[in-house]
């Protein structure tokens, strides 16, 4: 029976920690002893968001979730695309990879595939994730790598000053609340339909789908934490208002409801129904809509290795024998 390779061989050549053996032990002890707090995940860069931005809440909730898990910042990579929310990695004391618009998910998947030991978090907005980057979401779900994807949904393009996004409500509704959107949709309002982001992700087959609201700090930290703990692709729909271009604080405070206490997180069809019904009812539910554990990409890769190695990894010379 083939030995399943140790985790390090699966890391595509990613090197081991730099410490010498003795130092590593010492570092490990220090690691055990260190109890990190939210402050340990604050970087020296001050957030550039507008006062009152919902993203402050998301940032604090993420930092708290990281602190609760006492993760070493060197083992955490936060990947983002473009938009206000794309700036988040800069404000966290951890590794960050800030890529081009809409491509946070592919970049995060590359990070995780190359080194499965890292905690990988992708963040971005509704435009980044569901307009320009929308084609990547179903495939990230299909691969089911252990990545937490936090979408900060403010239903507007904030960084470009207030154009409607894929999650902006159709018609005149949003325009009444926005000083900026009438520029883009002066007559009949937003002509395009509103994407039901949550329902889409559930239908794609995502193994963890939750929603949370930036004004509910404790609950948001808890939900993000559940996403981090979930072994697989976790989608966190973080509603995060933009007070500057589309201020939804007041209506959202009223329309946010917790999922029923006896909610069955194992029923995908019910979860879809709930996500669809909400739209007509004008409410948002917070909590975990659906969760089920499937084998991750890394799990499956281990099987592939076990089968392909035989007794040991092939040398490049052996691979060339097929051409002799």
Q: Indicate the residue among 63 and 155 with the shorter CB distance to other proteins.
A: 63
Give the up-direction half-sphere exposure of residue 221: CA atoms within 13 A in the CB hemisphere.
15
Q: Name the residue among 182, 150, 171 with its Cα closest to residue 246.
A: 182
CB of 239 closer than 8 Å to CB of 153: yes
Q: Phi/psi of residue 122, each to 5°? A: -105, 135
Q: Which of residues 237-256 bind other proteins (CB under 8 A)?
A: none
Distance CA 252, CA 227 (A): 23
- Nearest-5° Cα angle at 139, 71 to 118: 15
Q: Which three-class secondary structure state does DSSP give residue 6?
A: coil
Q: By CB neighbour count within 10 A (0-12 exposed, 13-18 middle, 19+ buried), where does 24 fall? A: middle
Kindly state whether residue 18 participates in binding other proteins, applying the rule CB under 8 A: yes
Q: Pick from 47, 73, 171, 251: which binds other proteins (CB under 8 A)?
A: 73
Kindly state whether residue 3 participates in binding other proteins, applying the rule CB under 8 A: no
Q: Pick from 58, 71, 107, 175: which binds other proteins (CB under 8 A)?
A: 107
Q: Pick from 113, 131, 217, 279: which binds other proteins (CB under 8 A)?
A: 113
Nearest distance from C-beta of residue 43 to other proteins, angstroms: 8
Distance CA 147, CA 115 (A): 12
Kindly state whether residue 174 participates in binding other proteins, applying the rule CB under 8 A: no
Instruction: Extract the tokens encoding 52.
Output: 């009152």
Q: Pick from 54, 83, 106, 125: which binds other proteins (CB under 8 A)?
A: 106
Q: Pick from 38, 50, 97, 172: which binds other proteins (CB under 8 A)?
A: 97
Listed ranges 4-12, 164-172, 241-249, 281-289: which one lies at the site for other proteins (CB under 8 A): 4-12
Q: Pick from 28, 29, 37, 313: which binds other proteins (CB under 8 A)?
A: 313
Helix (H) or strand (E) holding 64: helix 54-68
Kindly state whether residue 69 participates in binding other proteins, applying the rule CB under 8 A: no
Cα 176 from chain centre: 31
Nearest distance from C-beta of residue 113 to other proteins, angstroms: 5
Kindly state whether residue 285 participates in binding other proteins, applying the rule CB under 8 A: no
Residues forming the site for other proteins (CB under 8 A): 5, 9-20, 23, 27, 43-45, 73-77, 79, 89-90, 93-100, 103, 105-115, 117-118, 135-136, 138-139, 143, 301, 304-305, 307-309, 313-317, 319-321, 323-324
């Amino acid at each position: 029976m083939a030995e399943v390779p140790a985790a390090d061989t699966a890391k595509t050549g990613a090197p081991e920690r730099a410490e010498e053996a003795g130092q590593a032990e010492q570092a490990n002890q220090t690691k055990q002893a260190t109890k990190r707090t939210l402050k340990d995940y604050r970087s020296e860069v001050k957030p550039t968001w507008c006062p009152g931005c919902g993203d402050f809440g998301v940032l604090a909730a993420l930092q708290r979730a990281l602190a609760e898990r006492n993760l070493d910042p060197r083992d955490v990579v936060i990947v983002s695309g473009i938009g206000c929310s794309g700036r988040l990695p800069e404000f966290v004391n951890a590794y960050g990879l800030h890529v081009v618009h809409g491509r946070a998910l592919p970049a995060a998947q590359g990070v995780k595939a190359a080194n499965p030991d890292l905690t990988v978090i992708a963040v971005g907005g509704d435009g980044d994730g569901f307009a320009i980057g929308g084609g990547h979401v179903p495939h990230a779900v299909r691969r089911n790598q252990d990545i937490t994807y936090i979408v900060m949904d403010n239903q507007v393009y904030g960084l470009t000053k207030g154009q409607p996004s894929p999650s902006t409500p159709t018609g005149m509704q949003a325009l009444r609340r926005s000083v900026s959107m009438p520029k883009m949709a002066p007559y009949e309002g937003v002509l395009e339909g509103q994407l039901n982001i949550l329902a889409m992700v559930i239908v794609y087959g995502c193994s963890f789908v939750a929603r949370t609201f930036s004004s509910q700090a404790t609950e948001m930290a808890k939900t993000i934490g559940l996403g981090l703990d979930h072994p697989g692709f976790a989608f966190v729909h973080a509603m995060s208002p933009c007070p500057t271009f589309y201020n939804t604080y007041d209506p959202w405070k009223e329309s946010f409801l917790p999922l029923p206490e006896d909610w069955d997180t194992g029923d995908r069809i019910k979860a879809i129904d709930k996500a669809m019904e909400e739209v007509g009812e004008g409410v948002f539910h917070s909590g975990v809509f659906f969760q089920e554990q499937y084998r991750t990409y890394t799990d499956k890769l281990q099987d592939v290795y076990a089968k392909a190695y035989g007794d040991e990894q092939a040398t490049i010379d052996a691979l060339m024998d097929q051409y002799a």
